[in-house]
Amino acid sequence: MASLLLIEDDPLVRRGLELALTRHGHQVRTAGTGEDGLRQLAAAPPDLVILDLMLPGIDGFEVCRRVRATGEVPVIMLTARGDDFDVVAGLEAGADDYVVKPARPSVLDARVRAVLRRTAGETEGIRVHGDLRIDTGALTVSVRGEPVALTPTELRLLLTISRAPNRVFGRQQLLEEVWEHGYLGDSRLVDNCVQRLRTKIETDPAAPEHVQTVRGFGYRFGPL
């Protein structure tokens, strides 16, 4: 059973999703404002946050940024429409995935389970690439001996591409392996996650040594 924190201001939507996710086997707490959600998050961090972007007071974008700044709890954002601005801004704020409202409970449950599976990781050992050290058993990453805090999605992406140095991973392949989207998904999920990952592990994110772009194809883990 996963513990979820649902932050949604519409009481009907909030109650409907709470009941549906509970029926799918999750333990669900709810909040109607960003402020209340952040208080609950600080008091008892959940396994995952489901976050509506359009909240009164502190909006979902700011809530997401604060979640990212204070911990590694994964975030799925709810957006009222597939608006490019909302989606891009939410991903740049640090969301791991998004679902367009009205959210079908079965789809939301599938996304929740997919995100949570990413935290399981691997048990292969140690991977070293220059100043980057990846412990796939302990699920820790360090750069120049200093620990780096990655979100579950960022870690899963790094584990995926680092398992085969120099191999090119297409965006759709990464969507299927990292996000577990078995359809033609949104490549912005991949690109935004790569950008965030680079800011944490690269000496110069503009000239990455570890996560390299192969134009027109995707990404690869740089040569060892």
pLDDT at 123 over 50: no
pTM of the model: 0.63
CATH of span 126-221: 1.10.10.10
Residue range 19-32: average pLDDT? Answer: 93
Tell me, what's the pLDDT at 206? 93
Burial 39-78 (b: 16+ CB within 10 A, else e): ebbeeebbbbbbbbbebeebebbebbebbbeeeebbbbbb
pLDDT at 223 over 50: yes
Dist CA 216 CA 151 (whole Å): 27
Tell me, what's the pLDDT at 119? 53
Q: Which amino acid is at 70?
A: T
The DSSP element (H or E) to which 21 belongs, if any, is helix 11-23
Give the tens place of pLDDT for each residue, 171-211.
988 988 888 776 556 788 899 999 999 999 999 999 999 99
CATH of span 3-116: 3.40.50.2300
Q: Where are the domains of the chain?
A: 3-116, 126-221
* Strand boundaries in 47-199, DSSP class E: 48-52, 75-79, 97-100, 126-129, 132-135, 140-143, 146-148, 168-170
